[in-house]
Structure 1
């Protein structure tokens, strides 16, 4: 029986990716490493902090109401091609 509670991030999906490099404080890197260790303990799969960061950022942005509201306003609605195609 695991004593670790489920973490907010959950198991990681397999996604296509691109490399991005950023600089962070040493204390943040230490926190990310500790979170990665807890994540591995909770889900039984070793993962490093670098793999967690994109999922953390995605979760953060999904939960940011100001960003979500702005996305709805600035991103045009897309319709299926059949709706936009002229009738023949």
Structure 2
């Protein structure tokens, strides 16, 4: 079994934004969604729904950001 950084995707009220992604990144998101679907036994998630949890995970594990955020508080 593959160890992915994302597990389930929370169903939360979203804020809509528009972003442009490089084609290679979009292909990776599509592939990630396929693998996540296989790992969780659910249908593939919409790749755009992966962006928020990935950003949340990135920010949560960025020590430099945590330190700077703590210093500003």
TM-score for the superposition, normalised by structure 2: 0.88
- Match of residue 16, structure 2, among 11, 16, 19: 19
What does 1:64-83 correspond to in 2, within 5 Å?
Answer: 64-75=62-73
Aligned length: 72
Matched position secondary structure for 1:70: helix
- The unaligned stretches of length 5 or more in structure 1 are 76-88
Matched position secondary structure for 2:13: coil
**Quick check: 1:6 aligned with 2:3?**
yes
TM-score for the superposition, normalised by structure 1: 0.75
Deviation string, structure 1 residues 39-84 (Cα, Å, up to 9, x no partner): 1111122311100100000000111111111111113xxxxxxxxx
Root-mean-square deviation (Å): 1.2
* Over 6 Å off, 4+ runs: none
**Quick check: 1:44 aligned with 2:44?**
no
- More contact order relative to length (CA 8 Å, sep ≥ 6): 2
